[in-house]
Structure 1
Amino acid sequence: MGLGSTAKKIQALSDRAETMYKQVQKLQKRITGLEEKTDETNETVARLDHQLTEQRELLLAIAEEQGIDGEEILAEAAIDEADVDEPSSSERDATAGETTAE
């Protein structure tokens, strides 16, 4: 094997290493950007959660002032939401029939 052949192989290897290094740098920048965005999102969620808690307490206080049981209303809403999310027995039967028919 001649020196020219070896030099070409080394150059090709060097070119690939440089390309990979550039790709790694791009990935590092993307990861850093994603981490920053995640931190911002976490801060926003925490702030919104705090505001929601404050609003809930305020609404419950107003409801109590008006003689309304706010906790009871919230409990009923939770039950209604669970009923909407859960399929009815006829929907479950229809889905089961589709599964066995296939």
Structure 2
Amino acid sequence: MGFGSTAKKLQKVTEMADKLYERFERLREQVNDLTETVEDTHGRVAELEAELAEQRALVEALAEKEGVDVEAVVGEADAEAASAGVTDSGSDGADGND
């Protein structure tokens, strides 16, 4: 076993390292893309939450002006949703993600 055998082994190790490096770079790109997507999504969700809060305030103000008991209506809707198996996923804004 001379230098030829060692050279072949080194060549195999080098090829494996190159493949691993390429795979690592693809993975890094995927993670970067995913991070961008998560950040974009977070921004859109924050905008939607703010818009929803504004709309809720307007609806509550209109309901109050018309003499509608907002709490009673929300309670009824929650009860109907619960009986239908639908869960409230934080419509009150208290989800802890602020």
TM range (shorter): 0.7 to 0.9
CA distance in 2, matches of 1:53, 1:72: 19
Task: Note the C-alpha offset of 1:25.
Answer: 0.4
* Runs of 4 or more consecutive aligned structure 1 residues displaced over 2 Å after TM superposition: none
TM-score, normalised on structure 1?
0.81
Unmatched segments (≥5 aa) in structure 1: 87-102
- Number of aligned residues: 86
1:33 pairs with 2:33: yes
TM-score, normalised on structure 2?
0.84
Match of 1:99 in 2: none
Unmatched segments (≥5 aa) in structure 2: 87-98
Equivalent AA in structure 1 for residue 19 of structure 2: T
Residue correspondence of structure 1 range 45-64 to structure 2 within 5 A: 45-64=45-64
Equivalent AA in structure 1 for residue 38 of structure 2: T
1:70 pairs with 2:70: yes
* Larger radius of gyration between Structure 1 and Structure 2: 1
Task: Note the C-alpha offset of 1:75.
Answer: 1.1
CA RMSD of aligned residues (A): 1.1
* Percent identity between the two aligned chains: 37
